[in-house]
Every structure is written in C-alpha cells, then in structure tokens.
Chains A and B, each alone.
Chain A
C-alpha cells in the first residue's frame, strides 16, 4: 500500500526520539534530517519538505511542552500537527444533487473515478448521469458508456463532436431529471495552452458545484505545478487520489493538495468500481505514523 516506506521510516525516527533520554539541538537536527529524507523518498515536493522541516525544527526548539508532557511527546505532536496541516482540511462530498467535473493529467484515473463516483451516489439513492466531455482520447466515449452500463448511471455523449461545451449544453435537457451529474474531461497538462483554454471554457459552461482534481499516487515533483495550473484554469474544489493500491507514495499528490489548499475527498484503491474509500486526514496520518 502507498506510503508504507514513508510510514516505516517516520516510525523509526519517532522511536529514536522517544528512546533518547534527553532532547537537545543535535537530537532535533538528526530528527529533522531523517524526516527530510523520508519525505523526499516519498516524493514530497522539495520546497514543501524544506518548509515543513524548518517549521518543525523552529517549533521544537522554541516551544515549551505543557506541564505533564515530555519533550519527546511534544515533538511528536508538533510533527503530527505539521503533517496534518499539509494533508489539508477534512471535508467530504455532500450526498445531495450536484454537478461534478473531473479534471487532471493523462491517464490518472478520471474516467474510472467517474464510474466509482456513480456507484457511490447510486448506492446512496441518488440518480446519477455521465456527460462524456473527453473529445480527445480514442474511445473515451465507449469507456464511459461501458461504465454507465456497469453502474446504471445514465449516459450522455455525442460521438464525433469535438466541442465539449456543445456536448454539455445538449446534455442539460437530456439529464434534467438526474440528481448527480458527472462530467468526464480529457487528460491535460499545464504546457498545453489550447487544452487549458478548453477546460476554462467548459468550466464556465458547466458551472459545477465541485471541480475535482484526479491525481495518482505515483506522480512526483511536478504534481504541484500541474495542480496549480488547473487550479487557475478551473478553481478546484477537491482532490481524489487514485492508484493507492500500488507502491506509489502519494507524496506528489499530497504536495499538490498542499499547494492548492483543497481537501482530499476520496482515494482509489484498485481498478474495480468498489475500490473507493472516503479519505480522512487524521485516520490517514494515524496509520502513517502508527499512532
């Protein structure tokens, strides 16, 4: 599972701290170095890692533990709090009628996640429909249509139409009785200005309640810049991290979360539609640190 390595190296660091009889500058310095290595190996953004470790170092040196708390435990608390801060706010998808647009890089899992979301909302008793606005990837239309057959979500798409805004506009009448609409879009990156322009226009036309960045756990240092450009183009409201069932350490994805400041709603843990979990920063961090 993702993050296992980060988890074991942070735990090792924690063991060292709790095991040391007193805390001085050197112990803190060594701890900071260990944490830095652990984060860098997990693909957490370099600048974020340096910021984070600077904060932990400053707080560990300057703050006094409250009465009854050992300095060791207080340092662990600081590390926990600072890591929690980068994991972002805790927030979930609302179980109510809404329009959700999925955006992200090529092949990160947007279309599959559309299927997972449909299954999720349909199980909650909300009627769900897809709008097929990926006009670039070969067979994106058929992929989403198959997912609609598998989940019972209603499908709307116009085969061969190259303008996603037109597709969305025509879906409005077709899906007017549907409670949750999920708009699938093409993969894109921040260097392709035509595609960024396309998504900006589509976002305007759709006026969604949620714009979710779908990003996979293997992505590295460039996740932040990517996310930022999509943030600028569409105003992201949340993140879904996919492929958490692999060995990807999700450090890049979490850096993107830190950079955009929007919450992680869900994680994908496999190829099947039921491989989908609600994300809780505290639980996640608890597992990560074995706390």
Chain B
C-alpha cells in the first residue's frame, strides 16, 4: 500500500527517496516522477520533517491534481451530432476491439443505437472477433473480407448509420506500430475518408514509458481527441496515466478494467488512486 503510514515524523528527503522508487515501480515515467517530487519539495521548502501521514496526504493531493488534468470535459452522450463517428487507433494488442465492444454495450444500455465498422482487415481473425461481439450484443457490424479496403468499410458504416438515423459509428482499425510509416499512412487515409468526429487512442496499462512515445507519435501523425487506458485489472499499476495526464491535454475518457462487457468505466481519478496505489 503506497499510502500506508503512521504518525511518526519522517525526514522529507528520505520520504522523497522512498517515493522516487515507489512511483517508478508503478510505471510513472522518470520525468514525471521528478516533476511530482519537485512539486512536493516546493510545497514543503520550509519543512525538514513531517508526520508520515501528513506527507502522504500532501503527495496524494499532488497526484490527484495531476490526474484531474486528464478529466474529459465533454460527455459523449451529449454531443449534438448524429451519427457521432468515433475512430479507434493504437498499437497492436492494446484493446481497440474489446473497447469498441464494451463501449457499444455501454451506449446500448443508455438507449443509443450503434453500428461498428470492421476496418481491421489485416490481422488474422480480426473480423471474426468484432463480429462475434456484434452478434453477442445485437449490434450491426459492417464488414468485408480480409484484405479489403478499410476506408471503404468505414464509409459504408457511416452511410448505414445515416440512412437509419443511428446515434454512433465506432470504427475498429488494425493495430499499427507508430514507427511503421506505410501502415500509419493507411490509417491517415481511413481518417481522411471517414472524417470521424472523434478519434480515440487506446493504450495498455502494462506499458510504461512507451505509452508516452506512442501517444506523442500518434498525436503528431494522426491526432486524437481522447485516450482509453486498458487492462487496469491486471498487475499493471497504470502509472503511465500520470505521465499522460501530465504531458498531454487530450483527456482520458475510459478505463478498461477487464474483458467483460461491463468492464469499461468512465475515467475516474479517485478510482486510479485507490486501484493503483491501494
């Protein structure tokens, strides 16, 4: 438990050393850890010692403040646009397809209508995977065969939604390494054709400093409006969320906390403090 503590006084320099290690071990990036501990030091310039419980509360305040910077200010349910088209991007295996399934489920439960575009036409089994979810959820998935043009499928799904007056179009894309220019170009093409209202980047909570590299490159090359952090139910402590909140202005919309349909939750800083740090 990161915030364990007692009423004994502690030397603040020792406290900082201790939390330097603990924060790094939670996958907060080195720069962000240094920023957090600098903030802490500035807050307590005049003090050499504090009760441990007080020091912990003070650090917690700083952490919470950082997390609050990543809170979204728009509610997806209250955007006046029909259909609202959301495209999902991210590196391989970060949970794009599962997020689309879980978000479809969430939207459907709120009385919204959804169509999904199976625009990952590259990975073996990708079309079957999203179709499986569609069948389970009773949600229409627009798909073609492996290897067909992902942009055309996205376009078809949007047409489908327009014709039937549906609320949401969710576009699944193939996992793409941000270092692969050809594949990134293909993703840009989907975006050009589909003109999504929003683009979400998915990242894996197990990833550490690389989550920042991913977000930096995707932001530069494709742009995104929001982030989803997945797999927070695993032993991942999700410290990368602090780095994301600290370094990007794009908010975190959802947290993936399991593979079940109800295991996508709205971003919640308190949850992260509790969930990640016990």
A-to-B contact residues, CB < 8 Å: 1, 37, 40-43, 45-46, 105-109, 111-112, 115, 136-147, 150, 189-191, 216-223, 225-226, 243, 245-249, 251-252, 270-271
Contact = CB atoms under 8 A, between A and B. Distances in A.
25 contacts: A1-B179, A42-B209, A45-B25, A46-B24, A138-B128, A142-B129, A143-B124, A143-B129, A146-B124, A189-B231, A189-B233, A189-B235, A218-B206, A218-B211, A219-B206, A220-B206, A220-B207, A221-B24, A221-B208, A222-B27, A247-B210, A248-B210, A248-B213, A249-B210, A271-B175
B207 A136 contact: no
Given A40-B30, A43-B209, A107 B129 contact: no
B41 interface: no
B208 A139 contact: no
Contacts of A45: 25
B30 A147 contact: no
B236 A222 contact: yes
B102 to A, nearest CB: 12
Interface residues on B, range: 35 or more
A112 B177 CA distance: 15
Given A43-B209, A219-B207, A139 B235 contact: no
A69 to B, nearest CB: 33
Given A37-B30, A46-B25, A139-B129, A107 B95 contact: yes
Given A105-B206, A271-B92, 10 more contacts: A107-B94, A109-B92, A136-B259, A138-B133, A143-B123, A191-B235, A219-B206, A220-B207, A246-B178, A246-B214
B27 A243 contact: no
B26 interface: yes
B204 A221 contact: no
B121 to A, nearest CB: 12
Interface in B238-271: 239-240, 259
Interface centre among A145, A223, A247 (most CB of B within 10 A): A247
Given A46-B25, A222-B236, A138 B132 contact: yes
B236 A41 contact: no
Contacts, number: 150
A162 to B, nearest CB: 15
Contact of A139 (B128, B179, B207): B128
A145 B129 CA distance: 13
Interface in B1-44: 21, 24-27, 29-30
Contacts of A144: 124-125
Nearest to B132: A138
A218 B125 CA distance: 23
B237 A221 contact: yes
Interface of B: 21, 24-27, 29-30, 91-95, 122-126, 128-129, 131-133, 146, 175, 177-180, 204, 206-211, 213-214, 217, 231, 233-237, 239-240, 259
Contacts of B124: 111-112, 115, 142-144, 146-147, 150
Contacts of A248: 207, 210, 213
Interface centre among B131, B211, B231, B235 (most CB of A within 10 A): B235
A191 B233 contact: yes
A150 B128 CA distance: 16
A166 B132 CA distance: 23
Contact of A46 (B21, B213, B233): B21
Contacts of A108: 93
A251 B213 CA distance: 15
A139 B210 contact: no
B216 to A, nearest CB: 9
B180 A218 contact: no
Contacts of B213: 246-248
Contacts of B133: 138
B43 to A, nearest CB: 24
Nearest 7 A-B pairs (CB), nearest first? A220-B208, A143-B125, A107-B93, A139-B129, A146-B124, A189-B234, A139-B128
B125 A142 contact: yes
